[in-house]
Amino acid sequence: MSAEAALAVERGLLAGDYDLIYVAPERLMLARFQALLDQLAAGPGLALFAIDEAHCVSQWGHDFRPEYIQLSILAERFPAVPRIALTATADPETRAEIVDKLRLHDARQFVSSFDRPNIRYRIIDKANARNQLLAFIRDGHAGEAGIVYCLSRRKVEETAEWLVEHGIQALPYHAGMDTALRRRNQDRFLREDGIVMTATIAFGMGIDKPDVRFVAHLDLPKSIEGYYQETGRAGRDGAPAEAWMAYGLSDAVQQRRMIEEGDADPAFKRLAHARLDELLALCESATCRRQRLLAHFAEASAPCGNCDVCLEPPETWDGTETAQQALSCVYRTGQRFGAGHVIDVLLGHDTERIRQWGHESLSTYGIGKALDEKEWRAVFRQLVALGLLDVDHAGYGGLRLTSVSRPVLKGEQTLTLRRQVARKRVKEVRRASAHAGSGCRRRGVVPALARMALGDCQGTRCARLRHLPRRHFGGHRRSASENPG
């Protein structure tokens, strides 16, 4: 908005022309805007402060914005004006933080279901992620709008280019792009049909396109909350949509390294690791994905019948002995090598590195020939995800044992592992149950944004605000001039 336009809005505000205005917290904090609020309070009046995306107040959260914490000033300066806080993703800890930071201690809480029954969750074993993504799009989402999330800007650009080369209408979006181009890409995504937006997590907040048919992750998000927020951009029209993610050992290792290499304090790092652990447990889950997701938001549910685990239950196997071989080999090679080398030793390969370190003479050399390399990678991925192996970031990124691995290594505890599902079978299932979602009693109902409202206004208003899709929120005329409860 230009300075001139902003001035015109300010004049209109003071004249009482507006029922509802949107302000970024950064602007709200400006002395100039605070003075304007004082004038408004003394003049036409302030009916209500609605703080949207309130989870941004959480310092531990994935969308933390420092300005949100300063919003507590509203409670001090305008104690008589009701406040409500809204968010679509807040686990019990984040809810407590919202209450605390925004000083809503006496406020009522309204928590509606977090379930998005029309979204099918699918998390696959990463092999060649780009080809897997292309097959996923061609197989079930040709010509449909979708979002592909990548971790780095470079990967965003490369993936978009690669998809275009393979006949998919893809555009890049990340914070490092020229502003005008970024805006143009976003507009095209919103207005045109069938655009695939390849983006970092900079893309999405505040985007409300109802017919996004899939959200794909080529890299692991940082937490279940992040994953849920991002996948929640699919299927807002209530029609079937898919949340797809390719995940592999390197993702777990990379995320751990990013946490360790960050300059956050130890308490923050511990929490970040714990959040990642939860997400990894979701990825490795042998039970319904949705059940786990909802459990994270403290919501009990039955197996959903609309996720990969429900549709194609993974086989599990007693991996105790195999894990012992892996852990023992990590120990004997000195807890300083990555999975690649340890697997080479287990398989009895003849590599320069093995000869250099004399690892062909170890007792674990060649003891793992019952599994092939791909199967071993799946085992190591699960051992890292389950916390039996840790990555030594201070050293050279080698794998090392943890306190959790000891009982397994000593034979005091058995270990159940997931067997990878062959891709062919997944495809058969997809064909057989392509319309499985249509039997759902909730399909077709426009899903109210599963929102939490915290506030000191009366029930009817909160109920209405809670069930208002965002794009209707701004058009809800006279909402700000109604008699606040």
**Which listed residue (288, 339, 389, 465) binds Zn ion by CB under 5 A?**
288
8 A C-beta contact, residue 196 and residue 162: no
Tell me the window of 228-236, 267-275, 282-290, 410-418 that interacts with Zn ion (CB under 5 A): 282-290
Q: Which of 102, 304, 378, 388 touches Zn ion (CB under 5 A)? A: 304
Report the nearest approach of Zn ion to the CB of residue 312 (Å).
10
CA 152 to chain centre: 15
Stretch that binds Zn ion, among 38-46, 248-256, 310-318, 342-350 (CB under 5 A): 310-318
If one asks whether residue 307 binds Zn ion (CB under 5 A), the answer comes out as yes
Q: How far is the CB of 304 from Zn ion (least distance, A)?
A: 4
242: left (phi over 0), alpha (psi -120 to 50) or beta: beta
To Zn ion, the closest distance from the beta carbon of 294 in angstroms equals 10
Nearer to Zn ion, 74 or 307 (CB): 307
Residue 311 interacts with Zn ion (CB under 5 A): yes or no: no
Stretch that binds Zn ion, among 1-9, 183-191, 214-222, 301-309 (CB under 5 A): 301-309
Radius of gyration of the chain (CA): 25
Query: What is the rounded CA–CA span in Å between residue 462 and residue 455?
Result: 8
Note whether 290 binds Zn ion by CB under 5 A.
yes
The residues, any chain, with a CB within 8 Å of residue 283's CB and separated by 6 or more, are 123, 220, 245, 247, 385
Q: How far apart are CA 194 and CA 389, in angstroms?
A: 42
Pick the closer one to Zn ion by CB: 211 or 312: 312
The H-or-E segment that residue 14 falls in is helix 3-14
Q: Which is nearer to Zn ion, 307 or 401 (CB)?
A: 307
Strand, helix or coil for residue 178? coil
177 is an interface residue for Zn ion by CB under 5 A: no
Question: Is residue 310 involved in binding Zn ion (CB under 5 A)?
Answer: yes
Report the interhelical angle of 289-296 vs 266-283 (nearest 10°): 150
Closest CA to 46 of 14, 7, 72, 24: 14
How many of the chain's residues bind Zn ion (CB under 5 A)? 5
Residue number, 50 or 307, with CB nearest to Zn ion: 307
Helix (H, G, I), strand (E, B) or coil at 257: helix
**Smallest distance from Zn ion to CB 278, Å:** 17
**Residue 282, interface with Zn ion (CB under 5 A)?**
no
Which parts of this chain interact with Zn ion (CB under 5 A)? 288, 290, 304, 307, 310
